[in-house]
Structure formats: structure tokens, C-alpha cells
Amino acid sequence: MTSLDPTLAALVRAQTGVTWSRARALCAEGRVSIDGQPCLDPAVRVPPGAVVTVDRAARKIRARALSENAIVHFDRDIVVVDKPAGMLSVADVTGNRNTLADHLRTLLRSLDSHGPDAPLGVVHRLDKDTSGVMVFARTTPAKRILAAQFRAHDVQRIYHALAHGTVAEAHVESYLARDRGDGLRGSLPALRGGQAVDEAAAKRAVTQIRPIAQLSGATLVECSLETGRQHQIRIHLAELGHPLLGERVYIRDLAGERIDAPRTMLHAHTLGLMHPRTGQSMIFRRDAPEDFRSMIEALS
């Protein structure tokens, strides 16, 4: 199986002629099987020779909020997960349990009955609309060590994004504040004038941007983070005049035509870290989900 193999939803759509949304729904409802085994994940890659069967009359399966396929790696210390777009990483208000952290802990109970069952330790976050790999700690020592790696910027983080316009390679360094002067989080104008920056009010943010493919009205880019500030990639690309497709907040600097998208087109593709107990260097990657790939195809 490779990243070039078609997704299950794509094969369902080709076989039935239904819309993308209905193809995904048929998978999620348990009405699609691969070689006789139901598969609820529409984004799973189907290898050559596998037989995909669609039974629209099959009994609907109540799917878990998070599929087993979402878990990239787990052991007694950490769990790495491919976060779906549209799901909060952690609760935004007290009592909200419709979060990745809660759904992941529930799933781990069924997969690892002998592992620790304490609440998962949060060491970083992805925005609700952002998909991709993130790590949680399963023990207090693991949380402490991982948090130190993030603070020291020793964690490799590479994102794929779809941005408006023609994006050139760039090294962006600025100081991000809650209010850049117009009510939005962003880079302080003082830095551009060479003035000193109050680091208590603004944090240094560094993003390396590399174009991967030119599309119609947009660019597929790779963004490597030296730091990990809130909304860092979204802000830096927007301030360059290339806000992300699906952007709803940092869109004021767009000069050209706006391209609609179902969400902010940002995916955490690669996460590299040192295992908190063994010290082993570990790199985890997950390709972007179907909605992201569909946007690329539509603009190609």
C-alpha cells in the first residue's frame, strides 16, 4: 500500500457514481467492505487487487468518533494520533468531552487494557480545523520530558498547506502578539521598523516556507516550524499576502480572488521527537485527508 493508492471513498464514488459526501457516509455507516471486512474509514488507502464491495442495504454501524486507523503509534508512555479536521484537540469549556483527547483515551481502553488509564497529558495542540499528527503523553514523566522538548524547539514539525496565489520560498521571522494593532493576532509592526520588542507581550515565531506545487490560483506549500506559536502558519502566510484556503480570520491581506474551501487547508504532516523514556529518535508522518486532496485535484 502506498500514498498513490486510491482512497476507499474514491473507489466507492467511482463504483457507484454518488457524491463525495455520500461516498464518505457509506463508508462511515459500515456499508463498504474491503475483501469482505467492513471498513469505516473513507480515507484509508486501498492496495491493488483488493475487492471493494458497497452494500447500500447493509445494517448501519454506529461508528466510533475516532477510528483505530487514527492511531499512528502508542506505547506505555506516548500516543501519536492523526487528528481529524473538525475535532477539538482538548476541551474549550469545562465539561466538553467531544474532544480528541477524550475520544482517544476511550479508544485506548479497548486497545491497551494493561496500559495507563490516566487523562492524557497535553503538550501541544492543533486548531480544530487542522488535521494531522500530534502526540499526547500517557504518564507524568513523559509529559514533563515532551513539554521540555517543545519548549526547546527540539521537535520537528512539518505542515502542508494550501495558500492563495503564487507562494515563493521564504524564511519568515517575526514577533507575534495577541493584537498587532488592528484587533487581530499577528506580527508587531515595531519589528519591521527595527525597534525593540517587548518579549513579554510578543513571542518570536519562525516559519520556513517551501512551495511544493503550483495550482490554479493557489500553491501547495510545506511549512517547517522552528517555533510553534498559536496560528503561526496562518498568520505568516496571510501577512505575506497568501492566506490559507478556507481562512476565515486572517484574510484581510488577500489581494486576489478568494477560493472557497470547507475548512482551513492546513495539515500536520510530520512530527519528529525523542521518545521520553528510551531517547530514541522517532518520526511520524500521515498524508493529508481526502478533503485536502480533493482541493488539490480540483485546482490541478
- Asked if 100 and 91 touch (Cβ cutoff 8 Å), the reply is no
For residue 144, is it within any domain?
Answer: no
The answer to the question of residue 178 being in a domain is yes
- State the total domains in the chain: 2
Q: How many residues does the chain have?
A: 300
Question: What Å distances lie between residue 22 and 18, 56, 270, CA to CA?
Answer: 6, 11, 30
Q: How far is CA 255 from CA 2, 181, 228, 258, in A?
A: 38, 20, 27, 9
Q: Kindly state whether residue 59 falls inside one of the protein's structural domains.
A: no
- Indicate whether 236 belongs to any domain: yes
What is the residue range of 252's domain? 159-266
Report pLDDT digits (tens) over 205-219: 999 999 999 999 999
DSSP-derived letter for residue 271 is E
Cell 517587548 maps to which residue?
A: 198
Give the residues across from 284 on adjacent strands.
271
Q: Which one from 127, 179, 253, 287 is the annotated catalytic residue? A: 127
The verdict on residue 132 lying in a domain is no
C-alpha cell of residue 103: 475520544
Q: Alpha-carbon Rg of the chain, whole angstroms?
A: 20
| pLDDT digit string, tens, across residues 132-173 | 999 999 999 999 999 999 999 999 999 999 999 999 999 999
Q: Which CATH number covers residue 189?
A: 3.30.2350.10
Residue 36 resides in a domain: yes
Could you tell me the three cell numbers for 239?
A: 501577512
127 is catalytic: yes
The reported pTM is: 0.78
| 82 assigned to some structural domain | no
CATH number of the domain residue 18 falls in: 3.10.290.10
pLDDT by 10s per residue, the chain, length 300: 555 788 898 999 999 999 988 898 898 788 999 998 888 778 888 999 999 999 998 887 765 678 888 999 999 999 999 999 999 998 877 777 789 999 999 899 888 877 888 889 999 999 999 999 999 999 999 999 999 999 999 999 999 999 999 999 999 999 999 888 788 899 986 544 455 556 567 899 999 999 999 999 999 999 999 999 999 999 999 999 999 999 999 998 788 899 999 899 999 999 999 999 999 999 999 999 999 999 999 999
Whether residue 199 is contained in a domain is answered as yes
Phi/psi region, residue 211 (left: phi>0; alpha: psi -120 to 50; beta: rest), is beta
- Angle, helices 290-299/20-28, rounded to nearest 10 degrees: 160
